[in-house]
Structure 1
């Protein structure tokens, strides 16, 4: 263990090379070998890296503008899907039956509200900051108060082991998973649940939009007119290829006379199907990381490690805000039996 003596002045920044033996966490002087570059204070537990250098943020404002543009485009796209679907689908659904129209209106309102609200919470809520704790002077910093804390040169304050500095957001994010340009924000401890809720709601919404647009488009699509009426002859492969060619040509010919409502339905089907596939893959990846008790950044940093955290559904319950397993909440079902003894 390293010998330490108290430093008289209060440390507020990372020290220069000639003062590198001063712990930034508690201000105590450490006696270390001259070749030591990274060391840990034996009192407060803070980690000091003498080789750390601050690099200037390049294009910070441009990255923020880019992320905000993505957020604006995504909000406009969601509003277009909602308004376009209302204009194209509602008349057909209400013409079928009043019950179908009312049910479709309720489902659309619930899915639209949940998707936009969860997206707004994930995009505009702070992703989570590192906890503010006393540091810099020995009387204020107790034993092991800064265990495994490092110093962030960008924010000029302590950084907890679970914190990562995001150069796009310009701040340290607690339990950072990744920086998502589509929400213009990091996914961290404070908005990770909202991000998962947004993915879940968006997947359900896109599935519903694709089904309804295909169903209504089938009723609005003009009848197909085939150019050839004679029977096909030849090998089965040639017949199949010619039949497929005729079907494609018939679809193209009918699409030329398609109404504006039908064109919007075609676009909604293709766009919702593509977005649905991408969001489903992302949601499955996020659920797998949560199940394994990791984040995307921790997964990248532990690619070569064989020691993996404990997997299980308890990680999912802890992520959702339930620190105990599901069986604990249903114990009353099993312990409600009264035992009588004579």
Structure 2
């Protein structure tokens, strides 16, 4: 019989014919409508993407080398700031008073040890591996065990909604926030708190470096040649402009008399001041996401604002115990808790 002679309902039935597929989570065989690219298993709850294929990242080695290069550069910069500060500041501070020198030495040691230790924890500690779950066999996988799990085609293992695969690290990371090339590691559930503490320590250190650089420059700066100030006359904006121009010229002339120690102090001030601005912006952004109960990736991927904006998120993140006044802190919405390991 020709196809044109078939009833219309027979043609529709043949196009809508179900096909058989297998759930990766529990191994059960399912009948799916033809053309369905994604389905959720009614038994284990796993989500299967029919179009997904086994992936292999060929650029993983180059990303690893890039990250190690960034880490080396950052470590060298930290060591240069510490050593340069010691060489440039210590003689000046100890010449002022013994107490000032001892106080500065104590603060420098504490900040240097804290910053390097927190950097090492953030850079070399595991960012957080997802928990191992049983999958692939129906007798072992119980109902709902893999609810909303997907399959990572890079790691070839289950991946929950809280887990993301990092192509730079070549692994799945639990509660992944972002991949930071400057620490050569992902920021996730395992090292997120250390990363935040490193930012805080680095900001405090750069602020202290800026203050000590200005303090030391104040003591070693050559005297300004201001003999032309007496010949200035006029009033109003013209006098102010002439005065400012003469002071600037005097400062530039005195700069030529600075020693190498003075130029290093100027560099330390400029670099630490510019660096602390970027770190403060990054820290405020991170703390805001934690306050919202989100990570950077969840903020980018979410279509709506479904986070829990609660100051208690910050307390839980830093491991602070619950206090009675926390219930008076602002709570705007309720949602699923995040940042819990």
Aligned alpha-carbon RMSD (Å):
2.1
- State the distance in 1 between where 2:124 and 2:161 align: 25
Normalising by structure 1, we get a TM-score of 0.85
* Deviation (angstroms), 1:97: 1.7
Structure 1: tracts of 5 or more residues without a match: 1-17, 330-342
Q: Say whether residues 1:183 and 2:183 are aligned partners.
A: yes
- State the distance in 1 between where 2:263 and 2:89 align: 12
Q: Say whether residues 1:326 and 2:323 are aligned partners.
A: yes
- CA distances 1:18-67 after superposition (whole Å, capped 9, x unpaired): 99710000000112211321111111111101122455425322221111
Give SS of 2:228's match. coil
Partner of 1:7: none
Q: 1:245 to 1:328 in 2, by over 3 A?
A: closer
Report matched runs for 1:10-89 at 5 Å: 21-89=21-89
Normalising by structure 2, we get a TM-score of 0.86
Give SS of 1:278's match. helix
Partner of 2:93: 93
Query: Residue 166 of structure 2 contacts residue 172 of structure 2 at CA under 8 Å; is this kept in 1?
Result: yes
Report matched runs for 1:123-138 at 5 Å: 123-138=123-138
* Deviation (angstroms), 1:249: 2.0
Partner of 1:269: 269
- State the distance in 1 between where 2:136 and 2:227 align: 84
Q: Say whether residues 1:316 and 2:314 are aligned partners.
A: yes
Q: 1:55 to 1:141 in 2, by over 3 A?
A: closer
Give SS of 1:247's match. helix
Q: Which runs of 4+ in 1 moved over 4 A?
A: none
- State the distance in 2 between where 1:274 and 1:189 align: 29
Aligned residue-pair number? 310
Report matched runs for 1:1-342 at 5 Å: 21-226=21-226, 228-233=228-233, 236-302=236-302, 304-305=303-304, 307-322=305-320, 325-327=322-324
Query: Residue 119 of structure 2 contacts residue 183 of structure 2 at CA under 8 Å; is this kept in 1?
Result: yes
Query: Residue 229 of structure 2 contacts residue 246 of structure 2 at CA under 8 Å; is this kept in 1?
Result: no
Give SS of 2:48's match. strand
- CA distances 1:72-115 after superposition (whole Å, capped 9, x unpaired): 11111111111111111111111222111111111111110000
Query: Residue 317 of structure 1 contacts residue 326 of structure 1 at CA under 8 Å; is this kept in 2?
Result: no
- State the distance in 2 between where 1:19 and 1:158 align: 24
